[in-house]
Structure 1
């Protein structure tokens, strides 16, 4: 196994020193510069007294800084802990304390929040450093460029990254990741089509596993990564065209936004080779529209933070909306290389036959060694046989393709029947008036729970109402699965990874009847 990220960058720095590594706001960091700057940051961290395994927090947007900090921590034997800049101060305090951070590095726009939430920690900022603080560039420049030498084969099982779960319910947990967890083998790399000529677009934050995984995969392959600090649909389309981007990872919510950008069909996106999508469910209707507009290969990835990204993939060859295997577009694909996949009974935990819904289990070198300082949670996370419990429900067909029904906790039980929201969402999304949709259960005296939908209508949808949409679904799914309540909303609340915050919808849309647009 290997080479891992640090050794890959070291190699590119020697063999292709001037090749572009990361571009941000028109400024490009070459592989030689990325290697040298990460060495200096690693040395500065060690000179500050940080010991092997110390957690280093940073508040940074996608860009050159996020790349060099991740690499520096790996080279120094430290644990990079990207922090979610969207968190409220009490939430940031909770994460910092849980991680036992020893230092925080921040961009200027986040320094006020960092000082307020973590006043006791040494601070490095790209802004104006206060008393006892460090200014990023002078702090870096003062350190030697000697490579500390960590991050090779001997460190395969060393934790170098700690990401916090999105915390849609309960307190976020620190998911530990090793260098081997993040390693993408030759088969995985070939499936994506990475090469030294690839141009990757990264708009996902490094505090999310998709953003970190996509960035490290591109750097390991020697590709050129172009970044945007935030996701503005028009800017994304502009960069796709101007930078001749070949590879990109989007969550479905972003695809929904991009296909609505004015003039998208007239843009020259011919350089695009592959769009990878994942992190949240996609409806077949959205996937078909996206494939038609972008005209490149599509590949779905299913996974979670605890699996360091992908468990399954639906390869481009399986994306055939008009062919005899069009039903596979509703699946998440089959197991990634070197990954084991199984379905367990929700009650007994025993394996179930093909076609039977149960909990999705997985084993691979990508699976986390566990949560940081959460022994009780770790016992629940793994089975006695070493399988990771994903908490997702689904089934495998006879060919080994995985069909995800939903998060187990999101299943709606109405009148004694199990309803998986993704089935209802997919049916509603086929209606031409529906732009975005989320389905969940709300309390019902007669049925226990009522299938409830929050819907964003397309502009110009006219007087599309509840009855029309309910009747539409009844022609496609069993009547008991059709929504009993529909709320029309302006937008769906989402976390930074694009997942709909259904608990927010449940709290805000209590009671029956339509909401207002």
Structure 2
């Protein structure tokens, strides 16, 4: 029977995509649906087919099959029963991608408990806030993180290492899922600061169904793809788009494992695994470009997508030269999901460089003025999503063109108003990144008594730091934008704060500047 994964064109997406058609991709229904059963167990056929490929920083490639993850997940579900865990209890795990990570992730959801992935680089304050919020019955972590985990009160701390995996052998390798589509499956925390914890986004098992809109039309996943997503599976992009979406369609996925991220190691993995479809953060592509080593590898990429923030023009040119494939933006948030896509693999959809694309089938988005009226093409306004009860703000600024393509114009809080002038941090960043000596850049508004805010740029460069270099960057920017659009302050740094998904975290920079100003 033909289902949505058989269609690749934009026209077919508009004609055939519907909520009912998404359910046809799965075995379960609303009364009996389980993410682990759909994304793992039903694909475990005894063949040893790979489910996840992990590229560790030390050069080791770890390949896990559907069979071993599925059997381990069933055994872990029995282990939870034996340890008094009830349906609906939270099971937190702070683990790098590994066999224990996937066994715990899918085993908890198979059992009916709620999986809570936690980023492995959390400090004690960030970990404690999340544990206090979700109150897990069990917190699973590695040997390296065990001492940190034991510093928080509440959950039972279990070290998920080879010893734990070995102990699961006494349990059966089959487990019957008993969850409904509306039962909770996962709590997802966004990357907030330790002073302001965002509320966990609570996903049900049926969230896997609606996720398929993003999988089919945002990342372009289809059976037969060799997929890879370098984002951490502790976060939305890495977990939902990089892990659950491909596995839900029976597609082998891949990710980066233990150790510090290295862009050359990523390119080596793309070559070693024969990756044909990759979804990554914009920063991942920029970091690959900056290595200058892409010519050393052979790629088989046929589809590319990116998320998190726009890609600067120079990096887009590098993608064209390196992969000869359109870089397709995928826009959304943890709270609302993916809403704008570029339909990777659809030959009848023209990808416009730098565009967010068009809405996924069935959604309506609009760029609006402050009074709620729709903007004209080229006019910047607030990006709004149509819901049953009205328009919902995405808190992003955007514009559309005459053909209905959407363009990102920065977060609402990335607009810098200085002495009455309104400037875009993203626009200034993109201009500075065109300078040959600027490897990475982040721009914010820094508090100033006279102007309210002034533009400040944080720059990573291999060139020697000097006042002359600062003036050169200022002149380079103002001559390409406007006389008032340039960084009055330039600070050279060795690294920029980033979210675990790889996006530059301007909020951290703004908070630092505000604290300095207050001091």
The equivalent residue for 1:493 is 497
What is the CA–CA distance in structure 2 between the aligned matches of 1:72 and 1:387, rounded to whole Å? Answer: 38
The equivalent residue for 1:158 is 183
Q: Does 1:182 align with 2:208?
A: yes
The Cα shift of 1:463 comes to: 8.6
Contact 1:58 1:83 (C-alpha < 8 Å) held by counterparts: yes
The equivalent residue for 2:418 is 414
Contact 1:23 1:63 (C-alpha < 8 Å) held by counterparts: no
Q: Does 1:12 align with 2:43?
A: yes
Contact 1:42 1:148 (C-alpha < 8 Å) held by counterparts: no
Q: Does 1:144 align with 2:172?
A: yes
1:216 is aligned, of 244, 251, 258, to 244
Q: What does 1:11-90 correspond to in 2, within 5 Å?
A: 11-14=42-45, 17-24=47-54, 25-90=60-125
Higher mean C-alpha deviation, range 178-187 or range 100-109 = 178-187
Q: Does 1:173 align with 2:207?
A: no
1:477 is aligned, of 464, 481, 493, to 481
1:240 is aligned, of 270, 274, 280, to 270
TM-score, reference length from structure 1: 0.82
Q: Does 1:228 align with 2:256?
A: yes
The equivalent residue for 1:121 is 155
What is the CA–CA distance in structure 2 between the aligned matches of 1:263 and 1:482, rounded to whole Å? Answer: 32
The equivalent residue for 1:131 is none
The Cα shift of 1:215 comes to: 0.8
Cα deviation, 1:393-425, whole Å, max 9, x if unaligned, reads: 222333322222112122211122322211111
Q: What does 1:81-480 correspond to in 2, within 5 Å?
A: 81-118=116-153, 120-127=154-161, 135-150=163-178, 155-168=180-193, 170-183=196-209, 184-185=211-212, 188-189=215-216, 192-213=219-240, 214-229=242-257, 230=259, 231-261=261-291, 263-269=293-299, 271-308=300-337, 310-315=338-343, 328-346=352-370, 348-349=371-372, 351-362=374-385, 385=389, 387-459=391-463, 465-480=469-484
The Cα shift of 1:196 comes to: 3.9
The equivalent residue for 1:377 is none
What is the CA–CA distance in structure 2 between the aligned matches of 1:73 and 1:247, rounded to whole Å? Answer: 29
Structure 1 residues 297, 41: CA separation in 2 closer, same or farther (over 3 Å shift)? farther
- Secondary structure of 1:426's partner? helix
Structure 1 residues 487, 27: CA separation in 2 closer, same or farther (over 3 Å shift)? closer
Structure 1 residues 102, 171: CA separation in 2 closer, same or farther (over 3 Å shift)? same
What is the CA–CA distance in structure 2 between the aligned matches of 1:318 and 1:464, rounded to whole Å? Answer: 48
Runs of 5+ consecutive residues of structure 2 not aligned to the other structure: 1-21, 27-33, 55-59
What is the CA–CA distance in structure 2 between the aligned matches of 1:498 and 1:468, rounded to whole Å? Answer: 28
- Secondary structure of 2:224's partner? coil
Cα deviation, 1:57-79, whole Å, max 9, x if unaligned, reads: 00111233333333223322221
The Cα shift of 1:455 comes to: 1.7
- Secondary structure of 2:186's partner? strand
Cα deviation, 1:60-119, whole Å, max 9, x if unaligned, reads: 11233333333223322221101122111122111101011111111222222111224x
Cα deviation, 1:270-307, whole Å, max 9, x if unaligned, reads: x2222321123321222212331233342211112112
Cα deviation, 1:446-498, whole Å, max 9, x if unaligned, reads: 32211221222255899962332223223332333332222232222223222
Aligned length: 473
The equivalent residue for 1:378 is none
What is the CA–CA distance in structure 1 between the aligned matches of 2:61 and 2:492, rounded to whole Å? Answer: 41
What is the CA–CA distance in structure 2 between the aligned matches of 1:178 and 1:195, rounded to whole Å? Answer: 24
